Amino acid sequence: VDFDVKDQSLAARGKVRIEWAGAHMPVLAAIRDRFAKEKPLDGLRVAACLHVTTETANLMLALQAGGADVSLCASNPLSTQDDTAAALVEYGIPTFAIKGEDNDTYYKHIDCVLDRDPAITMDDGADLVSVLHKQRVEQMSRIVAGTEETTTGVIRLRQMAADNVLKFPIVAVNDTPTKHLFDNRYGTGQSTLDGITRATNILWAGQHVVIGGYGYGGRGLASRARGLGAQVIVTEVDPVKALEAVMEGFRVMPMIDAARIGDVFITVTGDKDILRREHFEVMKDGAIVANTGHFDVEINKDDLRALTTETREVRDHVVEYLLEDGRKVYLLADGRLVNLAAAEGHPAAVMDMSFADQALTVEWLAKQAGPLKPAVYDVPEDIDREVARLKLQTMGVAIDELTPEQVRYLGSWQEGT
Amino acid sequence: VDFDVKDQSLAARGKVRIEWAGAHMPVLAAIRDRFAKEKPLDGLRVAACLHVTTETANLMLALQAGGADVSLCASNPLSTQDDTAAALVEYGIPTFAIKGEDNDTYYKHIDCVLDRDPAITMDDGADLVSVLHKQRVEQMSRIVAGTEETTTGVIRLRQMAADNVLKFPIVAVNDTPTKHLFDNRYGTGQSTLDGITRATNILWAGQHVVIGGYGYGGRGLASRARGLGAQVIVTEVDPVKALEAVMEGFRVMPMIDAARIGDVFITVTGDKDILRREHFEVMKDGAIVANTGHFDVEINKDDLRALTTETREVRDHVVEYLLEDGRKVYLLADGRLVNLAAAEGHPAAVMDMSFADQALTVEWLAKQAGPLKPAVYDVPEDIDREVARLKLQTMGVAIDELTPEQVRYLGSWQEGT
Amino acid sequence: VDFDVKDQSLAARGKVRIEWAGAHMPVLAAIRDRFAKEKPLDGLRVAACLHVTTETANLMLALQAGGADVSLCASNPLSTQDDTAAALVEYGIPTFAIKGEDNDTYYKHIDCVLDRDPAITMDDGADLVSVLHKQRVEQMSRIVAGTEETTTGVIRLRQMAADNVLKFPIVAVNDTPTKHLFDNRYGTGQSTLDGITRATNILWAGQHVVIGGYGYGGRGLASRARGLGAQVIVTEVDPVKALEAVMEGFRVMPMIDAARIGDVFITVTGDKDILRREHFEVMKDGAIVANTGHFDVEINKDDLRALTTETREVRDHVVEYLLEDGRKVYLLADGRLVNLAAAEGHPAAVMDMSFADQALTVEWLAKQAGPLKPAVYDVPEDIDREVARLKLQTMGVAIDELTPEQVRYLGSWQEGT
Amino acid sequence: VDFDVKDQSLAARGKVRIEWAGAHMPVLAAIRDRFAKEKPLDGLRVAACLHVTTETANLMLALQAGGADVSLCASNPLSTQDDTAAALVEYGIPTFAIKGEDNDTYYKHIDCVLDRDPAITMDDGADLVSVLHKQRVEQMSRIVAGTEETTTGVIRLRQMAADNVLKFPIVAVNDTPTKHLFDNRYGTGQSTLDGITRATNILWAGQHVVIGGYGYGGRGLASRARGLGAQVIVTEVDPVKALEAVMEGFRVMPMIDAARIGDVFITVTGDKDILRREHFEVMKDGAIVANTGHFDVEINKDDLRALTTETREVRDHVVEYLLEDGRKVYLLADGRLVNLAAAEGHPAAVMDMSFADQALTVEWLAKQAGPLKPAVYDVPEDIDREVARLKLQTMGVAIDELTPEQVRYLGSWQEGT
């Protein structure tokens, strides 16, 4: 096996950890079992550029079980787990990823997987697609299709499609309900509070927790923070979302008012400057600020620094900013995704569904009779339902089926009057 | 004023009750105040076929304040509040509605409002539109547009549009978020439990409450029933919705299993036969069954009767079915909408938003420069946002606005990487 | 049967309603079944002075089944259900109670039951005990013991005991956990919100609900109001209780601050003047105020009236107070217990436990070998556990039992170190 | 300063961490500030045997600020934080504690603090008291009093008092409401789930979480687990507690039934063998079991091992037990307190109250005019109220005070009738 990993001796530990994750990814395991029998991906060359984690390892093994010839590189220089990478090599999967690799190595690793002449690409941020379109144009005619895991990647790709520069079809796995309804809501909600707890060991009960943004991430956070006894305050710019928050019993107010009240602030909006100079100026002494949105722009660190006379790390991932007026503000994880920085990101049980979507999407692509036109595609609704069905089954939950009479009734709704 | 109501002497009491409702409909009141100043509907003839309730009365008064020449008939022979009808007449609004009117009178009343040659129709179930298309074709060319409040009506109208028989444009008020997100979720959730409490005076704490269906209505119900201390069980046919229920911490199972456990059953699916013979056969002695879906088909009453030796009314809206094997099942409100039958339907605070959508939609229609093509239209997003904004404002809730930099950032998302 | 009731022809309806309540009082039913077999109260003369409701009727029937010679009069001139009284007469129980009876009749009825020379008294407010001590001293030597259902009665009796004037023993049923933990918390919580909903038809979601007092009643209210989507604010004078409210995620503040924010106010403290002039002066226009504490002193009505220019009833149990400055405040049920006035008081399922405590206490008194000294007694812990055990059993809930090893371990705790 | 710590160079880091904890212990900080002014403990020699953590360090500093001559040794050989110990030495407090010290050193360290001839002892498990009574009898006449932090210690001491062997008075800090209502409920609830999350990274949403025991710890756990989306099942032996759990909407059943359903099991009963052979035999493959009760006897590890063919550590604090029939059970932290083993124990905000109780109790003891008799004393109610009052104040929460009229009314309750 061709590979470039940190230390092959870490493989044993990696295997145990991959198994643990796998035990909490039963949908993917069921798909892997079926793949092993049916070999639907026989001989299909798949190049994946994903976070090299134990969850991703289980996806790779499922594709491999299905007969695919898979290779993997990292989608971020910092997120690689070196023991996982070593274990994957032992499992016979060409893997190119070293935690902390420099930029050149990062792109060299992308070349390594593309050199294997894949028919399918799997992206987490569109880097494979991007390199192909920029530097490896000759190879694109042999690409059947790709998949994309992230919001950011999907937005980029839709723009490329709109500009007519996208040269092969991509399925937007991110956008399917079994991905974003669960991952963004339950995954983010729990793991963000987990990250803040590990960083600070604060008691949530009775705290004023200010949540910037009431999208799916914000809803999950608000629900979980209340579940831990916090008094939740929501800020929003969209009146319909704001009203939903009010009707759920949360306090809603502008950030400038919330800034005076909050003990803990969490941003999750997708926009910049949610917390900025005017907010830092009025925060209570001891306020804790964290971000769980994708980029580290939601908390304006320049503004915070401009008010600061001194900083020091008081716990791992907790930096104290001593402001000119003597107040202290605590910034977690330097404003980066606190659930990944201070905890372990989304639990395997959530990635189970996202990666089951990925595996079934690759199978669906492999089964297409003829070529798809270059465009951004939704995950077929059947796959979404199948993933939900399998998840319920593996949790031991049965549900009803419509009777023929019920189906008929739904089809002739007007008769009900 | 031309009119046909039960008893004009009820007007005084009707006025007090209309005021009470109005006090809890501040968005509509704000619109009414603006309408009174701006007169945007000056001279516009509007014919409305709606439930003649105190909430509807407030809508009529708002349109009247805007300069419209409004008339009103009932959209259901049983839902008219006679004191409200009498009060509307005193307010100068031609009203044609008597609680318990027979079918002929019902249609005669529809003719009364259509005889006034309206430019705008407002429907709750599409009866005005239907009569116009069937019997008053000559008049349709003078109709500018209509609005529709219900799911059922919208479905009918979309079918008419699909079959190219719809002759004038209709706005589907039902489908806009500020209508169905709030009305269906918070309105149904609270008022259904209210209806069952009034009918039975049961303690909710510790009860097994089985909710058939996890759409918006079911979500509201599940959340509120848990909020009262019940153990909630959800049944579903859609695996994605079922999984959401599981992730919210509810038990999910097929109805045949839930039927053995439930103390109280509530159906809210839009489909028929949710509770049927096989379920009645295994229910516990003393089980209470109720429906809050639109039609009384969700609980199969024929199946229940077929198992029954004797019935008697044990409280208002509660009929005991003594089954052959000695068990008793209690059917509420004869399987009709229990929140309307045993309580007062949706609170005014919820109708506030739905009817604000209606009022602003009429204004929008009045402002159109040229004619719209015959089709079913969505409520413009601006109106939805405006209603949410006003609702927040009247609740004293302020929210944030995007800064110019934030707007710019959102428009150039790819720079965030 | 000797009796004095309103209208004997109401008995049939009374019986149906007594049965409905009985179906939701399975613990009492189980006790009644056992009593019918064992006749533990054979020939015991019991005089009861209780609210003449369908729940009380089931208690009377249980005692009768146990062989007791029971008679009943009302503990409040207004709370009698005339159909229930008529039905009890048909069941052979001497009953003396007419809804709306005047003061003379009320006391004449008390004499009627005491004339039957009881060995056991059952009180709800200590009126039987009081009449005996004041006017029927000669009879007291033949009284074995009494029971008392209310906090108020128990406080009176303890004072009598402290002053050495209490002449026979009394069991304080009110104070036992299966009574007050459930009745006060879950019963009051649900039924109070129910009463306010019936009176006003407000939407709870998003409302600011101010709860005066965080005892068991206040806890129940706070939990249920949050469960319906309200934003709950608690006021307290006890810092430990206030802190518990904070840790549960509720806002806590002085009433003078809450008064400016609240949409709905509910008092449940046991003290007077919780809402008074200074609070009415700053309330929002449209505020709703209600009380669910035992006496109508918690809302200072004189203070409210002093600020008012005009009142009118806008719905049943809702009186609008138009204040001098134009604001309106809505007082529910004239400041009396809103759950009894506007709804039906505690559900039967809650009274099941309180009255099971009563029935078993009477049995325990009947079994005493020798006379108890005059004093106020707690319900024996065995009875409390038995009631909880039966309640669980009738709900179909099984629980664990300690193994012999576990019992041993608990008895020698120090070994665990 | 006399001392015995691991490495004095760790002091700098210890100081930063002590400060962080101190920032979340504002009640203790307020007491410390007052102590610094009033010097109420001037010259008082205090010997403390407590977990040497950053929270304890803040207690020591408060006593020192009050003028006390404090010394500290560890109450457990494993719980010492060496950097904290080093920092305390720099702060001038004789400290004798090394993480992992052997038994001899442990007792030698106890001798070191007792050699300083204290007037007050502070215990966490009664070791100081025990050594004094056994080996240093001559010194006891100079002990004014002691305090005890734990349930276990208090039970021991009460037995000593009952046997008339206790030679000086002890205050049972553990038993005061501001200690156990908050520490046991909110502290245990959050930190236990935190420990399990760190150990396993499971998603809580949708999991069946079985909680053995519904005391204060169990209530906190049940509430927090539901708050994270879990389906909670409670097991109990006490029917009253079981019924409360049912009324809160939790499922209650015997452990043998819960054992078949649970995904995660948490014991918190104070008894042994909560999970034993019969339960392990029926658990689902992959079940996770953890304990948060004080001793590691709640999960019977011998029984688990007897069914096991192989074990391996799959993550830190997670050991996989491969059973003979192929199922796997995961035991966390070897059945020891999972919140201390896998997370950081109670947050500082909770210890703030417990240690404020300690500090004020020492002050109260110092102020006693004459000697107290040897016995176990409750914390004076005034101290409890003061701690709650200060906690509210430092959280910025104001509460009401009774008016003179309200006080009068409460004192003459009978007038309310």
The alpha-carbon gap from A216 to the nearest alpha carbon of chain B, in Å, equals 13
The reply to whether A187 touches chain D by the CB within 8 Å rule is: yes
B277-304: average pLDDT: 95
Which has more pLDDT, C77 or B131?
B131
Q: Are B176 and B378 in contact (CB under 8 A)?
A: yes
Residues of chain B contacting D230 with CB distance shorter than 8 Å: 249
Closest residue of D to C402, CA-based? D237
How many other CB atoms are found less than 10 A from the CB of residue C295? Answer: 18
pLDDT in tens, B178-220: 998 888 889 999 999 999 999 999 999 999 999 999 999 999 9
Of D205, D224, D328, the CB nearest to A186: D205
D46 phi-psi bin (left φ>0, alpha ψ -120 to 50, beta other): beta
Residues of chain B contacting A395 with CB distance shorter than 8 Å: 246
Selected for mutation to probe chain C from D236, D240, D241, D275 (highest C CB count within 10 Å) is D240
D30 phi-psi bin (left φ>0, alpha ψ -120 to 50, beta other): alpha
pLDDT in tens, B218-249: 999 999 999 999 999 999 999 999 999 999 99
Structure-token match 């709804």, residue found: C343
pLDDT at C34: 97
The 3-state DSSP class for residue A200 equals: helix
The 3-state DSSP class for residue C281 equals: coil
Q: Which of C246, C242, C303 is nearest to C269 (CA)?
A: C242
- CA dist C150 → C124, C270, C346 (Å): 6, 13, 14
**Confidence class for position C340, pLDDT limits 50, 70, 90:** confident
Residues 6+ apart with CB under 8 A from C370: none
Q: How far apart are CA C273 and CA C293, in angstroms?
A: 12
A29-57: average pLDDT: 97
The alpha-carbon gap from B417 to the nearest alpha carbon of chain A, in Å, equals 7
pLDDT at C194: 97
Report the mean per-residue pLDDT for chain B: 94
Of C231, C246, C247, the CB nearest to A249: C231
Name the token pair of C248. Answer: 């549960």
pLDDT in tens, D205-248: 999 999 999 998 999 999 999 999 999 999 999 999 999 999 99
Inter-chain CB proximity D186 and A202 less than 8 Å? no
- CA dist A51 → A11, A150, A192, D315 (Å): 17, 12, 18, 20
How many other CB atoms are found less than 10 A from the CB of residue B322? Answer: 15
B61-79: average pLDDT: 94
pLDDT in tens, B156-180: 898 889 889 999 999 999 999 999 8
The reply to whether D16 touches chain A by the CB within 8 Å rule is: yes
Partner residues linked to A171 by β-bridges = A147, A377
Q: How far apart are CA A325 and CA B160, in angstroms?
A: 68
Q: Name the amino acid, one letter, at A190.
A: Q
Q: How far apart are CA A375 and CA A145, in angstroms?
A: 10
Residues 6+ apart with CB under 8 A from A134: none
Which has more pLDDT, A125 or A7?
A7
pLDDT in tens, A123-148: 998 999 999 999 999 999 999 999 99
How many other CB atoms are found less than 10 A from the CB of residue B285? Answer: 11
Q: Are A234 and A251 in contact (CB under 8 A)?
A: yes
pLDDT higher than threshold 70 for residue A392? yes
pLDDT at D294: 78
Inter-chain CB proximity D314 and A349 less than 8 Å? no
pLDDT in tens, B141-155: 999 999 999 877 888
Residues of chain B contacting A271 with CB distance shorter than 8 Å: 402, 406, 409-410
The reply to whether C231 touches chain A by the CB within 8 Å rule is: yes
pLDDT at B341: 87
**Confidence class for position D412, pLDDT limits 50, 70, 90:** low
Q: What is the ipTM of this complex?
A: 0.92
Q: How far apart are CA B319 and CA B304, in angstroms?
A: 12
The reply to whether B230 touches chain D by the CB within 8 Å rule is: yes
Could you give the percent of chain D with pLDDT greater than 70?
98
**Confidence class for position B417, pLDDT limits 50, 70, 90:** very low
The reply to whether D228 touches chain A by the CB within 8 Å rule is: yes
A311-322: average pLDDT: 95
pLDDT higher than threshold 70 for residue A376? yes
Q: How far apart are CA C346 and CA C334, in angstroms?
A: 19
C91-98: average pLDDT: 97
Name the token pair of C76. Answer: 């409040």
The reply to whether D9 touches chain C by the CB within 8 Å rule is: no
Q: Which of C191, B192, B353 is nearest to A247 (CA)?
A: B353
pLDDT at A361: 98
How many other CB atoms are found less than 10 A from the CB of residue D165? Answer: 10
pLDDT higher than threshold 90 for residue A360? yes
pLDDT at A417: 37
Of C182, C295, C401, the CB nearest to D247: C182
pLDDT at B344: 87
Q: Are C49 and C97 in contact (CB under 8 A)?
A: no
Closest residue of C to A231, CA-based? C249
Selected for mutation to probe chain A from D13, D178, D203 (highest A CB count within 10 Å) is D203
Selected for mutation to probe chain C from B16, B219, B228 (highest C CB count within 10 Å) is B228
pLDDT in tens, D385-397: 999 999 999 999 9
Selected for mutation to probe chain B from A148, A397, A415 (highest B CB count within 10 Å) is A397
The reply to whether D248 touches chain B by the CB within 8 Å rule is: yes
pLDDT higher than threshold 80 for residue D61? yes
Q: How far apart are CA B293 and CA B274, in angstroms?
A: 11
pLDDT in tens, A271-292: 899 999 999 999 999 999 999 9
Which has more pLDDT, B151 or B390?
B390
Q: What is the DSSP string of B374-409?
A: SSEEPPPHHHHHHHHHHHHHHTT-------HHHHHH
Of B152, B236, B391, the CB nearest to A243: B391
Inter-chain CB proximity C413 and D236 less than 8 Å? no
pLDDT in tens, B326-366: 999 999 999 988 998 899 889 999 999 999 999 999 999 99
